[in-house]
DNA sequence: GCGACTTTGTGCCTGCGTTCACAAGCGGCT
DNA sequence: AGCCGCTTGTGAACGCAGGCACAAAGTCGC
C-alpha cells in the first residue's frame, strides 16, 4: 500500500441503471473511415483520468525542454506502471517510436485532442464562497486552461463584483448567461441545501457536464454527466486507513515495512 | 450514462508495485475473538468510499427523524444499486433485520466505527490560500467533523492570524506542532512547487495520511497513504465527455435528447 | 547494409468489483 | 401457532481493468 489516487473506488451514482458501464462505449459499430473516432469511444474512464495526469507531467517536461520520453520515464513521473501507461496511450493511437520513445510535443497534442482541450471549454462556477473564490482564481493551470467565464451567487452584495476578473451574476441569470457564453461545464460550490436547485438551473441552461463540490447526491437526467468531489468523503477514507493502521499496529512481526529503496523512481528529476 | 462519482478510475500511484492490491487486506489469519476486526480489513476501497456516502445520507435521515430504512430506500438516496449497497453493508457486519430493514442509528454507529470516526481525527491544513481558507472553515460538516486543529503557511503576514478560529503557524513548525496536537491527517493546499517539500515535512512529523490538492505526484514512503484531488484532472475528464458527446452528436437519429430541450450546443464541430 | 539493441504495442491471464438471483430469516396477520 | 410476504445477506457468475511478457518495429553502430 502506498499512494492512492482519489479514484478507483468512489461513488458512482448512476441514475440510469442501464448503460452505466465504466467503459465509455457507445455501442456502435466502426464507421468506415479512420479508426481514431472509434478508439476515442472505447477509452476506459480510468484511463481518461490517467491521461489527464500524463498531460500534466508532459507539460512540465516540455517546459524543461525535454523532447522525448520513454514509457518508463513517463510512467515513473506519473506514478504508474509502465505497461499501464503504454496501454493507456495505445487507446488514443500509436504515436510512439519503437526503440526511442514518445515525442513530448506529439503526445501532448494527441492527449489534448482526445480530452477535447483543443476546443476551450467555458466553465461557470456557482457559489462564490471560499471555495468559489479559489476556483475562480484557478485560472490558468498547467497544460492549458479552462477559462472560468461566469460566476454566480445569490448574495446581492456580490452582484457585479469582479472575482478573479469576472463579475458575479445572480443565479437566476444562469440560463441566459450560460447560453450567451456557451458554458459547457458547470461547477457547483454552493452549500448543500441549494445544490440541487442550482444543478437544475444549470441543466435547464443546457449544461451537460457538472462538477459538484456539495455533499449531496444530485438528481439529473441521464444526458448529464456529474462528477463529484466530496471533501468529507475523502477525509473519511483517510480516517479509515488511519484506523486500519492503528488496528494492525499490534501486529509487530508483520513483514518489515521495507523502505522505498526500490530501483524504480530514482534518478528522475521530479517537478518538485 | 448518467451520474458518475469522482472515483472509479483515477490515478492510483503506487510507489510500491508489490502490495498495491485494491483490496485492503492484510493477509493475516483471523485472530481469536470477534470477527469484526478481520472484516474491517477486507473492505474494498471502493466500498469504503461509498460507506462514507451512506453515512452522510443516513445522518440526514436521522435528522429528519427517520428510524429505519430498507436497502432499497437507502440505495436510491445514495444513488447506488441496492445490491451493491447491501454488499457494502455486509462488509461491516450484519446489522439489518430481514423483512424490515436497517435501523438508522445502528447503521450510523457501525459505519462510524469502521471508518474510525469514533476517534476524532485531527487535521492539519498546509497552504492558507483561497482553498486553505475554504478548508479551514469547513469545520463541522455533516456526520460529525474532522476538527482542523492546525494551519500552516510560509507567508510571514499570516503567522498567528487566526483563520476559522485557528492561528496559522509557519511550515517550519510542522514537526513540533503536529506532534503536539496529534495530527493524523495532513491536507496539502499549497502551490505545486512547494507540495513535495511540505509533504516531506508532514511525513517527517509522523503524519501517515495525506490529502493532496496540489497537481503533483507526491513521492512518499510506502507507509504513507496519499489521496489526491486534482481539479484540473476533474475538469479534463468532464471535457472528455463533452467532446465525446459532441462527437456522437452527428448521430442525428439517436434517441431524442429529451426533456429540458434547450438549444444545446450540438452541431458543434468536433475538435479535429 | 546488416545485426544487435532498445522500446513500443498488445494478446493473454489473473484478480477485483459489480451484479444477479435466491435462500435464509423475521415480523405481521389470521 | 402457523403461514405469508417482505427484506436481508451472500454464493456464484460476469466483466472490466491491471500486469506480464513477448513479438513487432525502428534506431544506432559498425
Q: Which residues of B touch A81 (CB under 8 A)?
A: 17
B249-262 confidence digits (pLDDT tens): 664 444 433 333 32
Nearest by Cα to B201 from B227, B228, B183: B183
Q: Residue A145: its pLDDT value, please?
A: 66
Can you read off the three cell numbers belonging to residue A201?
438551473
Query: Does residue A269 surpass a pLDDT of 90?
Result: no
Q: How far apart are CA A195 and CA B98, in angstroms?
A: 35
Number of Cβ atoms within 10 Å of the Cβ of B56:
25
Q: What is the mean pLDDT of chain B?
A: 79
Chain A residue nearest residue B123, CA to CA: A235
Q: How far apart are CA A127 and CA A212, in angstroms?
A: 11
Protein-covered nucleotides on strand D (Cβ within 7 A): 5-11, 15-21, 24-28
B188-222 confidence digits (pLDDT tens): 999 999 999 999 999 999 999 999 999 999 999 98
Interface contacts A/B by beta carbons within 8 Å: 431
- Confidence bin at A119 (pLDDT 50/70/90): confident
- Confidence bin at B245 (pLDDT 50/70/90): confident
- Confidence bin at A170 (pLDDT 50/70/90): very high
More confident residue, B26 or A148: A148
Q: Which residues of A touch B225 (CB under 8 A)?
A: 1-4, 238, 241
The nucleotide lying nearest B18 (C-alpha to C1') is D19
Point out which residues pair with B26 in neighbouring strands. none
CA A96 to C1' C9, whole Å: 9
Q: Which residues of B touch A6 (CB under 8 A)?
A: 6-7, 10-11, 227-230
Distances (CA, A) of B126 to A84, A104, B82, B215: 32, 33, 39, 15
Query: Does residue B264 surpass a pLDDT of 90?
Result: no
Query: Does residue A264 surpass a pLDDT of 50?
Result: no
Q: Which residues of B touch A50 (CB under 8 A)?
A: 10-11
A141-150 confidence digits (pLDDT tens): 544 668 889 9
Chain B residue nearest residue A148, CA to CA: B235
Q: Is the CB atom of residue A22 positioned under 7 angstroms from any atom of strand D?
A: yes
Q: Residue B269: its pLDDT value, please?
A: 35
Q: Is the CB atom of residue B46 positioned under 7 angstroms from any atom of strand C?
A: yes
Number of Cβ atoms within 10 Å of the Cβ of B64:
8
Amino acid at each position: 500500500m502506498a499512494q492512492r489516487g482519489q479514484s478507483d473506488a468512489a461513488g458512482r451514482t448512476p441514475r440510469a441503471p442501464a448503460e452505466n458501464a465504466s467503459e465509455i462505449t457507445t455501442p456502435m459499430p466502426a464507421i468506415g473511415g479512420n479508426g481514431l473516432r472509434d478508439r476515442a469511444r472505447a477509452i476506459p474512464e480510468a484511463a481518461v483520468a490517467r491521461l489527464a495526469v500524463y498531460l500534466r507531467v508532459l507539460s512540465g517536461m516540455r517546459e524543461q525542454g525535454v523532447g522525448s520520453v520513454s514509457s518508463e520515464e513517463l510512467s515513473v513521473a506519473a506514478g504508474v506502471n509502465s505497461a499501464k501507461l503504454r496501454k493507456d496511450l495505445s487507446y488514443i493511437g500509436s504515436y510512439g517510436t519503437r526503440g526511442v520513445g514518445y515525442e513530448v510535443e506529439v503526445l501532448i497534442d494527441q492527449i489534448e485532442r482526445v480530452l477535447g482541450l483543443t476546443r476551450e471549454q467555458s466553465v461557470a462556477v456557482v457559489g462564490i464562497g471560499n471555495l468559489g473564490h479559489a476556483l475562480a482564481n484557478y485560472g490558468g493551470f498547467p497544460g492549458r486552461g479552462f477559462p472560468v467565464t461566469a460566476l454566480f451567487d445569490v448574495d446581492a452584495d456580490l452582484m457585479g463584483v469582479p472575482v478573479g476578473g469576472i463579475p458575479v451574476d445572480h443565479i437566476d441569470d444562469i440560463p441566459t448567461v450560460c447560453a450567451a457564453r456557451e458554458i459547457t461545464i458547470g461547477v457547483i460550490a454552493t452549500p448543500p441545501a441549494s445544490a440541487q436547485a442550482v444543478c437544475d438551473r444549470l441543466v435547464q441552461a443546457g449544461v451537460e457536464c457538472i462538477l459538484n463540490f456539495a455533499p449531496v447526491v444530485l438528481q439529473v437526467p441521464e444526458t448529464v454527466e456529474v462528477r463529484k468531489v466530496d471533501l468529507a468523503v475523502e477525509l473519511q477514507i483517510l480516517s479509515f486507513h488511519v484506523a486500519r493502521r492503528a488496528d494492525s499496529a499490534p501486529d509487530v512481526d508483520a513483514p518489515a515495512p521495507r523502505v522505498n529503496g526500490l530501483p524504480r523512481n530514482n534518478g528522475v528529476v521530479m517537478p518538485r
